[in-house]
Amino acid sequence: MASWHEGRSDNAERCCREVIDEAPTHVDAHRLLAEVLAASGRSGEALAVCRRLVALVPTDAIAHCNLAIVAARSGQHAEALLHFERALELEPRLPAAVPGRVRALLALNQPEQALAAATDAVRLPLDGAAGGTVATNPAGTGLRGLHAQALLKLNDVTAALDAATEAVRLEPGDADAWLALGFSSVLRGSAAQGLAAFDRAAMLQPQAARAHAGRGLALAAQGRGTEALAAYGRAVELDPTDASVFVEVGLLMVRLGRLENARAAFQAALDLKPDHVLALEGRTKVLAALNRNAEALSGFETLQQIAPWLDYLDGSKFHAQLHCCEWIEYDTVRWAIAERVRRGERVDNPLSFIVHNDSPADQRRCAASFVLDRFPAGIRALHHSVRRAPPRLRVGYLSADFGEHPVSQLLAGVLESHDRKRIEVFAFAASPDDGGPLRRRIQRGVEHFLDVSDWQDAAVAMRMAELSIDVAVDLGGHTIGSRTRVLARRPAPVQVAFLGYPGTLGADFIDYIVADRQVIPETAQSHYAEKPIFMPDTYLPRDFSPAQVALPDRSTAGLPPTGLVFCSFNAAYKISPPLFGTWMRILRRVPARLWLRDMPEVARNNLAREASRAGVDPARLLYAGKAPTVAEHQSRLSLADLFLDTNPYNAHTTASDALGAGVPVITLRGESFASRVATSLLHAVGLPQLSVETLAAYEDLAVSLAGSPTVIADLKTHLRRARTTSAAFDTVRYCRNLESAYLEIHARHLRGEPASPLWV
């Protein structure tokens, strides 16, 4: 004992072991040895000694309590709970055992029991109080913070915030109370207050991993990603067994666009806790985003078994199957998803839903449900100054796709073409710089380029309002990485959906959607939450100033030297079973090859199997590898004879590329926006006859054209001429029409008129 008090732990340990060797039942020697081992961080050895001590003195409450404390430090929370409860049976008000039991219940995810235990312990009858009067128990110090944490576990954030605020007032030295205040503050949207609380908790308990993890959460919410990662790193150093920290790191990495790092973080959490639902969900979604859909499918199937209640789970799994061209019970699944969407269930997110559903009414229901779920309800609109008769209209484009992305490929020329005498252009870039030439081009092409990728939604909205943006244009909608939530705060008096998402956003804070008469027929307007801006030619812009490259020969492109070539460069998930069946019937009738975009092996194998079942040699399906540049891809497209479009999700940028390369596009038009884009483009280039209404007509048209090489040649000549004569390829003309729309919808707002359809 003297050695231990003098700080000579090695000597104290040796003495204890010598005593135990001579007297194996010596209680005090076991007690001191456990204390020495625990203090030196040797929890496993300390736990073994504590177990022997409890066996020696089974009615000693302190022995049970010490065993429970060491077990909790070792992550053995079930054992800790057992011995905390035994200690309290022996000594009901043992100070360390009361909060210890609550912590164990929280660690075991039993928040109801933890809340009841904390409440009972904080408010106990005072000894000798008449009639059992209930009052605050002074011995309950330290429990108020745990009480607030239990409320947090029960998702009662408001009550948790109130309880935590009261706890830190009464017990400013309680780190648990500050932790509860930190987490509840962040969840209520006050990251700065949360960070201050976590800082106080870390000051009180520098070795508390959760305090540093909380700092990471608060810093991430403020867009301070680098600092957040450092805080999470410290939390992992202090407690490498806390799976929840790795999950939070994974979520932060997703926000930062570092998907491989996110996958590794989620995997680390699963290594610690294989059944951690959030970790499994995170890893599965990241695998899908990395286009590793075969692996993602396995994760979705596991989630359906262990967490079938998760929102959007069935739709996400179906989307992964479509990426793999796995069509088992295709119609049954998509009809079931549509029926659940009509009932208002959160079964599929809007972006994946439009891949297999062609009903504008269903799509609006799906989008509205998604907005209700994911966008802050009742969020306060920002105060923005309404500029009357501004010298130049301030238009703010918000996008997470300013870089090597189809949105930028289509829009770069429009941004460059804005008339700076009438329009002042702001670009709010919500994704990190990818370092590519298209990002540089857009930076040069606008007057004001703001990188807001690390900003909170509220901060971006505030900046828009401070800049007095007159018309805010959301280029993302319900696509991956979009920041549409910024516009939920109403930072601009007029807000527009454009280009990135082909359908209604289902949100009441978006006033207009850029469209045309083909993608939104006048009879379908009721299915859109926004009012359409009907562009005169096509809603889809075209940047016709790409770098020119030499035309490759067929062998270089992987094509046979002769013979007709159909192509379809859409992503694998857009290929529906009915369309693929039609393609196979066409190939049975025409001695041609079908040239497809490269896709994962699992998808190629599934298409080969389907082709064989349809009586077509799979060798007739050719796959184009990824071209080094967009210009090279657009150039090789011209080697194809006819482009076969997909349905119900058409080719959009891909169809524009094909027509620009002089390749006629055959499309099956449907009812929804996404299924009518190619029709819009064909009308704009003067080839409406290539848009048909039925699969039978689609098949017959493809076969007819394939048998008429002179007609194909005439169509290609027509398209080459259209490159210099058609409005579909006139970027400046498109931009002037778009500017006219912006000016008119802003003028309507100044006149106090509600949003209404606009024909440009």
Confidence band of 118 (pLDDT split at 50, 70, 90): confident
Arch. (CATH architecture) of 393-535: 3-Layer(aba) Sandwich (3.40)
Mean pLDDT of 184-205: 91
How far lies 567's CA from each of 194, 542, 561, 592, 670, in Å?
55, 21, 16, 10, 21
Q: What is the pLDDT of residue 188?
A: 81
What beta strand segments (E) does 334-403 contain? 393-399
Note the pLDDT of residue 17: 85
Determine whether 741 is exposed, middle or buried from the number of CB atoms within 10 Å of its CB (0-12, 13-18, 19+). Answer: buried
Report how far residue 368's alpha carbon sits from residue 527's, in angstroms, rounded to the nearest whole number: 11
**How high is the pLDDT of residue 136?**
34
What pLDDT is stored for residue 384 in this prediction?
66
Considering the chain, what is the average pLDDT of its residues?
90
Parallel, antiparallel or unpaired: strands 123-125 and 134-136: antiparallel
Fold of 564-729: Rossmann fold (3.40.50)
pLDDT digit string, tens, across residues 683-739: 999 999 999 999 999 999 999 999 999 999 999 999 999 988 888 899 999 999 999
Question: Is residue 654's pLDDT more than 90?
Answer: yes
* Helix residue ranges, H only, 40-76: 43-56, 61-73
Share of the chain above pLDDT 90, in %: 63
The domain segmentation of the chain, as residue ranges, is: 2-124+139-183, 311-378, 393-535, 564-729
> pTM for the complete prediction?
0.83
Q: What is the pLDDT of residue 268?
A: 93
pLDDT in tens, 401-416: 999 999 999 999 999 9
Euclidean distance between CA atoms 493 and 498, whole angstroms: 16
Q: Is the pLDDT of residue 133 over 50?
A: no
Q: Which residues contact 602 (CB under 8 A, 6 or more apart)?
A: 293, 294, 324, 325, 326
What is the average per-residue pLDDT within 73-86?
Answer: 85
Question: Which CATH number among 2.120.10.30, 3.90.950.10, 1.25.40.10, 1.20.272.10 corresponds to the domain 2-124+139-183?
Answer: 1.25.40.10
Mean pLDDT of 25-34: 78
**Residue 28 CB partners (closer than 8 Å, separation 6+):** none
| 393-535 has the same fold as 2-124+139-183 | no
Q: Which helix (H) or strand (E) holds 135?
A: strand 134-136
Residue 1 has what pLDDT? 53
On the question of pLDDT at 130 being above 60, the answer is no
